[in-house]
Structures are given as structure tokens and as C-alpha cells.
Amino acid sequence: MTASGFAMYARLSVDQSDGFRESSGVRQHNFFVSAAKQNDSSRIELMGFSAHERTAQSFLAADAGTLKTDLRFNEMSPLELDSFGYDLAQLQYLKALSPATNMTASVYYQRGYGWYRLFDDETTRDTLRQYGLDGLLIGSMVTMSTNHGPIAANYGLNVNEFRREHTRDVVFGADAGTRDYYNYGTKGELNAFAKYTWNLGRTHLYNDDQLRSTNFHYHGDVAIAPIRWTFFNPKVGARYDLTPASCRISACCCVATSTAATVAASSWRPPGRPLPRCGFAATPTSVRTASGRGRSSSTSTTLPATLPARRRSSFTTSSRC
């Protein structure tokens, strides 16, 4: 740290391996940077990294007879690759508002993206498809903590928006250059909490309250109405220290409630296409989850048209020495 309160750190990492099996290996790199400025009653920090990895795939097993003659045999083609990257950045501001009150505010950005390629048939290798995804998360968070004698309080608010796209393209074969499908989903979230603690000698009372609202929108070949949930989770409890050292007994009561989430009813038609390994296709009456290597095998689960409001309560006690 310099005399003016500025500090910075950076790191670059690079790794490459050829792999034991034929046409296998990985290349990856990562760059990390952190910078901060310290003032008398505040601090501002910037942190982030960018990383990328490219892999030649070799996850299919060879039979025992092949291994006797060639331990390095790889059934997969050198064209079956994957390439994925991840970026993250956060800007944070910390401020002491008073000797008893602190505030933190931050904004953050995350992105995960990439693709992988597989032949439809490992024997004929006539059609090579690329399954892609691109996810982006942007949000902001503000927290505040304060202490007034035996009472401590913490407050927080978090808002974020997430979006992820799914694609499948033919990159080799008779239909090279065509796109099989494109869809994307978005999820917005608002989360607020308040926590209070009251210390009365050996007795400690506390209360936690959380309000969370989230909504999901799907955009693709299948018409799905937006899905929304709102949760409110209050919790109250007490703890008593049997000895000044570490023996204690505590009790807690929790109540969790959620509003109804409605899924609009509409006609369903089969997508008629294999599903990507890292995605899903959903309808008002079913959710299909990809399995295997991104090919057409799948499982389905029926969803009701309306998800009712729910309420859950619990009471717990514990002791520790």
C-alpha cells in the first residue's frame, strides 16, 4: 500500500497439457486483478478476473480389447471440443457513517459462456453440432449494520437480473451453417433482510426477517407464461448462556410463507430436437431435463397449472457446552 492509501494486486496464470489419450488436452488461462483506495473513514475496492478454458474431449471409455493394444486410444474426434469462459467483476464501497454504524454498497457482474461440439453418431461422424450457452448476471447490494448499546441491527437489499441463452448449430455436415434452435430465459430477483440482536447479559434475543421476490420468463418455441414467487421468512429465537464460558441453550421458531405461482395452461407440442447438455426445454405441463451427452434421452416431470401458496413452521431447541 502506498502512502496515499492505494493498493493493487494482479496475477496471470497459464496452463497447458497435451493429455495422455490421443487428441486430448487442455489449454487454460486466468487473469486476476484487485485494486483498493483507503481513506480515513471509507474504502473503495475493485476486484475481477477473466478466465477461459479450451478442452479436447476424451470422456468415452475404450473397450478392454482396444486397451490391450493401445492405452491412449480415444474414440472421440479431434473436432469434438469444448470452449468455456467466465468473467467476474465487483466494485465495492465501504463507509463508516458513525462510530456505531457502517454501510457497504456494491455492484457486480458475472458472465459464463461457451460451447461444446459433439457428433450425432460417433460411427458415421456425418453431422457435428455445437451446443452453446451464454449467461449474464448483473446486480447490486447495499447493507448497513449499527449498534446501540445491547441492540445490534443489520439491514440489506439485493437486486439482480440473470439471463442465459441456449443455442445449437450445425458446424459440420450437409446442413453446416444452420441453427437448430435458439431460446433464452431471464430471472429477476429482489431480496431484502433485517436482523436484530438484543444482548441482556447471558440472555440473547434475536429476530431475522427476509423478503424475497423472483420472476422467471422463458422465450423460445414453446409458449410459457411468466412464473413469479414471493417468499417471506421470519424467524425469532432466544439463547441463554448457562456459564460465562461456552455452555448455552437456545430455542428458535421459524415461519416460511410463499405466494401462489401460476403457470398458464396452453397446448404442448414436443420440441422434436435433442436437448443441450447445459440447458432445458420447459412447457406448461412438463419439464424435460437433458441427460447423457446432450443427445435425445430425457426424463419428464408433470407440473400442475397452479402452484398453491405454502406455509411452513418449525421450532427447534439445542444446547452446547
Per residue in 87-107, pLDDT (tens digit) is 999 999 999 999 999 999 999
Count Cα neighbours of 316 within 13 Å in the Cβ-side half-sphere. 9
pLDDT at position 166 over 50: yes
The model's pTM: 0.74
| Residues whose CB is less than 8 angstroms from the CB of residue 217 and which lie 6 or more positions away in sequence, other chains included | 185, 186, 187, 226
Residue listed under C-alpha cell 414453446: 222
Residue 309 cell numbers, joined: 401458496
Report residue 22 as a C-alpha cell.
Answer: 490421443
pLDDT at 239: 83
Q: Write out pLDDT tens, residues 251-300.
A: 667 666 665 454 443 333 333 333 333 333 333 333 333 333 443 333 33
What is the per-residue pLDDT for 270? Answer: 36
Question: Are β-strands 25-38 and 6-17 bridged in parallel, bridged antiparallel, or unpaired?
Answer: antiparallel
Three-state DSSP at 68 gives helix
d(CA 159, CA 72): 50
Whether the Cβ atoms of residue 54 and residue 80 lie closer than 8 Å to each other = no
**Residue 19 falls within a domain, yes or no?**
yes
pLDDT per residue over 33-55, tens digit each? Answer: 999 999 889 999 999 999 999 99
The residue type found at 236 is V
Asked whether residue 253 is domain-assigned, the answer is yes
Say if residue 215's pLDDT is above 80. yes
Identity of the highest mean pLDDT range in 129-138, 219-228, 297-306: 129-138
Quote the percentage of the chain above a pLDDT of 70: 76
The pLDDT score that the predictor gives to residue 248 is: 64
pLDDT score of 267: 35
pLDDT (mean) for 208-227: 90
pLDDT, residue 294, reads 40
User: What is the spatial distance between Cα 103 and Cα 22, in angstroms, rounded to a whole number?
Assistant: 55
- CA-wise closest residue to 108 among 43, 46, 36: 46
Instruction: Pick the most confident of 151-160, 226-235, 253-262, 297-306.
Output: 151-160
> How far is residue 254 CA from its own chain's centroid?
26
Sign of CA dihedral 63, 66, 70, 72: negative
Mean of all residue pLDDT scores within the chain: 82
Query: Do the domain assignments include residue 21?
Result: yes
Name the more confident of 194 and 204.
Answer: 194
Cβ atoms of 137 and 109 within 8 Å: the answer is: yes
For residues 22 and 6, give the distance between their C-alpha atoms in angstroms, rounded to a whole number: 49
pLDDT band at 71 (very low <50, low <70, confident <90, very high): very high
Query: Residue 202's pLDDT is what?
Result: 83
CA distance 52 to 133: 14
Residue 221's pLDDT band (cuts 50, 70, 90): confident
Query: Residue 1: inside a domain, yes or no?
Result: no
d(CA 28, CA 17): 9
- In-domain check, residue 312: yes
Q: Report how many domains make up the chain.
A: 1
Phi first, then psi: give them for residue 10, nearest 5 degrees. Answer: -140, 150
Rounded to whole angstroms, how far apart are CA atoms 233 and 143? 18
Largest CA-CA distance found in the chain, in angstroms, rounded? 78
DSSP 3-state assignment of 70?
Answer: coil
pLDDT for the residue 87: 97
Q: Which residues span the domain enclosing 190?
A: 6-320
Q: What is the per-residue pLDDT across 114-152, written as a single tens digit (0 to 9) for each?
A: 999 999 998 899 999 999 999 999 999 999 999 999 999
Beta-strand pair 6-17/203-219: unpaired
DSSP track, 89-149: EEEEEEEEEETTEEEEEEEEEEEEEEEEEEES-TTT---EEEEEEEEEEEEEEEEEEEEET
Is 90 contained in some domain? yes
pLDDT band at 224 (very low <50, low <70, confident <90, very high): confident
79 falls within a domain: yes
Residue 66, φ and ψ in degrees, nearest 5:
-65, -40
